[in-house]
Amino acid sequence: MSFGKINICLFSQDKDKITFKDVAGLKESKEELEEVVDFLKNPKKFLDIGAKIPRGVLLMGPPGTGKTLLARAVAGESNVPFFHLSASEFVEMFVGVGASRVRDLFQTAKKAAPSIIFIDEIDAVGRERGAGLGGGHDEREQTLNQILVEMDGFERDTNVIVMAATNRPDILDQALLRPGRFDRRVLLDMPDLHDREDILKIHAKGKPFDESVNLKVVATRTPGFSGADLANLLNEAAIVTARAGRKKVTQDDILNSIEKVLLGPARRSRVTIQKEREITAYHEAGHALVAATLKDSDPVHKVTIISRGMAGGYTLKLPIEERRLKTKAQFLADLAVSFGGYAAESIIFKDVSTGSSSDIQYATDLAHKAITRYGMSDVIGPRTLGKNHELMFLGREISSEKDYSEKTGEMIDSEMNVIMKKSLETAKKIITTNKDTLDIIARKLMENETIEQEEFNEIIKASGIKQIVMK
């Protein structure tokens, strides 16, 4: 008869203890949680002024941003019992087990009070009620109801803080998010340039680095990487070094690992005929040339025809500085760059290949978002077109509700065609005007397979290409 008991783990303060010093970046998030730790350590300071202890702290953010890591840091900082479990452990095959386990969890925590409960991936039981199958008798909903009562019901004199983590806060029940339950929400963002460098320094501990390693350059090349991605990156670099029988990790090991994490391992053994190799070289040269010519495009860091994952070759272009906003000019530049390979193939070989399929798909999605979500069409104007709904009982399936007329739909199609054709014409014009430079880049790629940023910039500078702005 132990089904109603929860399989709860008490965090060991001696094993793998980490503190806030071991968590790089996330300055504001750490400040929020430091207050919670301070409240548990020095409750009198807050109670004397009439402040109440926060009942719940919800950590929200994309996967890999450090939600569980921050929870472990709170456990290491606070000298109180820290109970942790996954939300999926509440519900099993027997009806009523979930609610019983919630009661058992809170009774255990109350006996050890002051204490902290950490529930990971709370969206497993905290989804919006009445939105899926099962109605009010759904086992998951009964479990959620019990959590709501335990957190803020009739008994309010408990000294237990509930921490929870989720990367899907939009689907949580509103009763769970109201003040008195999860009254403190901590948002964890993707790390910026400085945070990425600090994270890399933490994960670099214990790894012997060569003098050539510059973590700032690595941080510059990894925009959009989460903390987990950066940890994986350095681990991959260390594995490559060990496999090669070397004693120190070099800069090249780390930079190659970036591409391995993004695209997959290099497929040097892949046999390609000379014609396909030439098409790939001109295709990637087209992307790089258009990117170098357009002022609003990101700088090219690397061009290669070495196959990785599903890609036959790729052009790596990264922003100079961190960006939170994107302008219409930058959208148009990205569209033109995505058509660079297609334009180069059509001009040089008077034909096009299937290698442009992913570029065309990316350009189509980009143009559709610019018109229907960001209001960047002069004809349609600033309006959001179409509503997306997540069908919770079908997993992550998205249904789109059409909230515009057939005439507006035709206008969207027409505007997409105009923007995409204009971008293709810009790409073709750049390649036709600078065909000699395209030949130089393509020949270099066929000879060496890879062109790094410094060499590429020298080619562009020697060719005297002037940057243009798309209008």
For residue 288, give the CATH number of its domain: 1.20.58.760
142 and 17 in a common domain: yes
Per residue of the chain (471 residues), what is the pLDDT tens digit?
A: 455 566 666 666 556 678 888 888 888 888 888 888 888 777 788 778 887 777 888 999 888 888 888 888 888 888 788 888 887 777 665 556 777 888 888 888 888 878 888 888 888 888 877 655 444 446 777 788 888 888 875 555 567 888 899 888 888 888 888 888 888 888 888 888 888 888 898 888 888 898 888 888 888 888 888 888 898 999 999 998 998 888 899 888 888 888 888 777 777 666 567 888 889 999 999 999 999 999 888 888 889 888 876 777 888 887 766 677 888 888 999 999 999 999 999 999 998 888 888 899 999 999 998 898 888 888 888 888 876 655 444 444 445 567 778 888 888 899 999 999 999 999 999 999 999 999 999 999 988 888 888 889 899 888 888 777 776
CATH number at residue 127: 3.40.50.300
284 catalytic per annotation: yes
**CB crowding 333-355: b at 16 or more within 10 Å, else e:** bbbbbbbbbbbbbbbbeeebbeb
280 and 254 in a common domain: no
Domain boundary pick from 238, 263, 288: 263
Q: Cα dist. 207→120, 142, 249 in Å?
A: 30, 49, 8
401 and 382 in a common domain: yes
166 and 88 in a common domain: yes
For the chain, the domain total comes to 3
Q: What is the pLDDT of residue 76?
A: 82
Q: What is the pLDDT of residue 284?
A: 92
425 and 295 in a common domain: yes
Q: Looking at the domain assignment, is residue 468 inside a domain?
A: no
172 and 34 in a common domain: yes
Closest CA to 337 of 366, 375, 306: 366
Q: What is the pLDDT of residue 210?
A: 86
What is the pTM (predicted TM-score) of this model?
Answer: 0.75
229 and 283 in a common domain: no
Q: Answer yes or no: are the C-beta atoms of 72 and 227 closer than 8 Å.
A: no
Choice among 150, 284, 345, 415 that is catalytic = 284
Instruction: Report the first-to-last Cα separation within the chain, whole angstroms.
Output: 72
Q: Using only the alpha carbons of the chain, give its radius of gyration.
A: 27
User: How far is Cα 289 from Cα 113, in angstroms, rounded to an integer?
Assistant: 64
Q: What is the pLDDT of residue 255?
A: 86
Q: Domain range holding 290?
A: 274-463
User: How far is Cα 461 from Cα 454, in angstroms, rounded to an integer?
Assistant: 11
Q: Looking at the domain assignment, is residue 390 inside a domain?
A: yes
Q: What is the pLDDT of residue 341?
A: 92
Q: Looking at the domain assignment, is residue 60 inside a domain?
A: yes
Q: Answer yes or no: are the C-beta atoms of 26 and 195 closer than 8 Å.
A: yes
Q: Looking at the domain assignment, is residue 156 inside a domain?
A: yes
Q: What is the pLDDT of residue 135?
A: 47
Q: Kindly report the number of other CB atoms within 10 A of residue 388's CB atom.
A: 9
Q: Looking at the domain assignment, is residue 3 inside a domain?
A: no
125 and 27 in a common domain: yes
209 and 126 in a common domain: no
DSSP 363: H
User: How far is Cα 294 from Cα 278, in angstroms, rounded to an integer?
Assistant: 25
239 and 117 in a common domain: no
Token pair listed for 249? 């990790």
Domain boundary pick from 125, 158, 187: 187
Domain boundary pick from 187, 212, 243: 187
Beta strands in 45-159 (DSSP E): 56-60, 82-86, 115-120
161 and 310 in a common domain: no
CATH number at residue 238: 1.10.8.60
Q: Looking at the domain assignment, is residue 229 inside a domain?
A: yes
Q: Looking at the domain assignment, is residue 4 inside a domain?
A: no
Q: Looking at the domain assignment, is residue 471 inside a domain?
A: no
86 and 128 in a common domain: yes
* Residue 117, Cβ density class (10 Å: 0-12 exposed, 13-18 middle, ≥19 buried): buried
